[in-house]
Amino acid sequence: MVRNTQLLYPQREPAALRPAATVLLLRDSEQGLQVLMTRRSATASFVPNAFVFPGGGIDPADALAHSQSTRRASQSDLRLTQAIAAIRESFEELGVLLAHRPDGSHASSADIAAMDRKAPFAEQCSQRGLTLAGQDVFVLAHWVTNLDNPRRFDVPFLVARMPEGQEPVADESEQFEPVWVSASQALTRHAAGSFMMIFPTLRTLEWLQTYSTVDQVLAACASEQPLWNSCPRGGWLKGQQERFMEHDSAYGELMLTCPDGQMLHTLDWQSQQAVPLLKNLMRLTAPNPGFMTGPGTNSYLVGDSSTGFIAIDPGPADMDHLQRLYAAAGGDIRMIICTHSHPDHSPGARPLQALAQAKSQTPVPILGLPSTDTARADSQFTPDRTLADAEILTLCGPKNTDPFCHSLQVIYTPGHAANHLCLLLLEDGLLFSGDHILNGSTTVINPPDGEMNAYLDSLDRLGAACEQHRIEFILPAHGHVLAEATKVIAKLKAHRLQREAKILAVMQAQPEGSLDDWVALAYDDVPERIWPVAKRSLQAHVDRINGLYFLETKKACQT
């Protein structure tokens, strides 16, 4: 866990959550699938003037109305309460009533007209012999309001079919202008500035626009579990506030820099100045963006003014970049570590060492693992000292005790390169993953210096180390910080094995095929322009498959 002493900003307690429920009322039309939306009052305390789905807070009475509602056998008490709250709110705000008469027909316009939207809801339904249609309301997603918002809600987004024969009529106090609209139309109007919506609504509509009928949506929501759970986080991008969900590449970095959800961190990629991530951690991205490097190679500085700094992956031999890295450390670089020898990681080590030693009274060693004879010609690297697996490198301030120490533990992780290593910042639960784990793509395994068995074994080692040391964040050499380290590693390994199973099936279907034949089938889910690079990892998988087949054959012969 990150030490509180290293967080960049004073933390504040988020506002308490209020339980609520929202429902997407859907219908099939000649124009396709449509959803009912309505505009909130201009004086509303939460998202005024925004177009929303009907819904609101859950009342205690909603939980007391279970006996007045139908329910599915698999529908929990909580889900039924949420469904009843959504039914009630739809009635109060828009005069839409998801209920059935004794003969099983939908509540009629006459039933609705005879009811008072401001009077106790369940009691009125009971008096008219109406049964609430809780079993017809399904959970789609679970949203929790951003941590930085002063009014926060814990709210399921539910879905239901619009009852036949009813028309929405806004209450003209909380809701106005009910409108039937397709998801794509709503998104287009929002982009044009005429249909304001908040982030969860936008993301939900992005999901909805991939469906064509109400039946398809209800089938997708039949599991009783939300299709996603999200508490969005915000940051600054291109001068604008932007929100991100958990699967977005920037989410983990916002968790690290602003754990309490304050919108303070800037996410733009730039190479002119170091970006503080913690008080003892800075990132400077080299100006080498490209197809293989993404936004550029991340150089990291670990330490502070009292301890000096360790530079991780100085990057290419770009003197402007190295001068900026040196300046960000205040000229006090104590060690330089290269995670591996590739040309976007290690060539800057010697020039940076020369800068650091020009004013230092002690040597500034370059540390890492030497390249092997399998390394490419542009990936030759010889450190001043070879690091040992599990070795710990420590920077300490004058008091020589935590929180004045920063300790990096070495983990030998061949796979992407034969001399690849990763580093754990033990006091703060951080993993510097080099190219072994990236944000936004899987790393390339390029034989012979790259090897798939070693890569998968190294993932297992990293996963075990993250569990042992409670590592939460991964700092890759390319891309933003990743959160939930153990889940990321497990998902990455599963992805590799799924890809390998697909490759094996292709090889079995076309045993005489070439790598070009196989890559087009095994990587048919990625753009064709990526196939030349994917072919390198394909070769690594083929080598591993052939090796496993040889071992199985040898074992069979021995028995």
Nearest to 125 by CA among 135, 112, 137: 112
Separation between Cα atoms, residue 536 and residue 515, nearest integer Å: 9
Can you tell me the distance from the alpha carbon of 379 to that of 520, in angstroms, rounded to the nearest whole number?
29
Please, which residues have CB within 8 angstroms of residue 269's CB and are 6 or more apart in sequence? 285, 289, 295, 296
Instruction: Report how far residue 25's alpha carbon sits from residue 90's, in angstroms, rounded to the nearest whole number.
Output: 9
Domain ranges of the chain: 17-231, 496-558
Which residues are CB-contacts of 492 (< 8 A; sequence separation ≥ 6)?
Answer: 437, 442, 459
Alpha-carbon span 347 to 41, nearest angstrom: 60
Kindly tell me the number of DSSP H helices and DSSP E strands found in the chain. 14, 25
Residue with tokens 């040597």: 363
The residues, any chain, with a CB within 8 Å of residue 138's CB and separated by 6 or more, are 158, 159, 160, 218, 221, 222, 224
pLDDT tens track, the chain, 559 positions:
899 999 999 999 999 999 999 999 999 999 999 999 999 887 777 788 899 999 999 999 999 999 999 999 999 999 999 999 999 999 999 999 999 999 999 998 889 999 999 999 999 999 999 999 999 999 999 999 999 999 999 999 999 999 988 999 888 777 888 999 999 999 999 999 999 999 999 999 999 999 999 999 999 999 999 999 999 999 999 999 999 999 999 999 999 999 999 999 999 999 999 999 999 999 999 999 998 999 999 999 999 999 999 999 999 999 999 999 999 999 999 999 999 999 999 999 999 999 999 877 789 999 999 999 999 999 999 999 999 999 999 999 876 555 579 999 999 999 999 999 999 999 999 999 999 999 989 999 999 999 999 999 999 999 999 999 999 999 999 999 999 999 999 999 999 999 999 999 999 999 999 999 999 999 999 999 999 999 999 999 999 999 877 556 555 565 5
Beta bridge partners of residue 473, listed in sequence order: 430, 483
Strand 405-412: give its sheet, edge to edge: 392-396, 405-412, 421-425, 430-434, 473-476, 482-483
Lookup: tokens for 119:
């009077």
First CA to last CA distance, the chain: 50
CA dihedral 185, 186, 190, 195 (to 10 degrees): 120
CATH 3.90.79.10 fits 17-231, yes or no: yes
For 517-538, the DSSP string reads: HHHHHHTTTS-GGGHHHHHHHH
Tokens 């007045």 found at: 68
Q: Which backbone phi and psi does 366 adopt, to 5 degrees?
A: -95, 125
The tokens for 540 are: 């690594």
User: Which residues make Cβ contacts (< 8 Å) with residue 210, sequence separation at least 6?
Assistant: none
Sign for the pseudo-dihedral over CA of 23, 25, 26, 31: negative
CB atoms within 10 A of CB 303: 25
- Whole-number Å distance between alpha carbons of 420 and 39: 55
What pLDDT does residue 175 have?
A: 80
pLDDT for res 361: 79
Q: 126-154 b/e with 16+ CB inside 10 Å = b? A: eebebbbbbbbbbbbbbbbbbbbbeebbb
pLDDT value, residue 397:
84
User: What pLDDT does 558 receive?
Assistant: 57
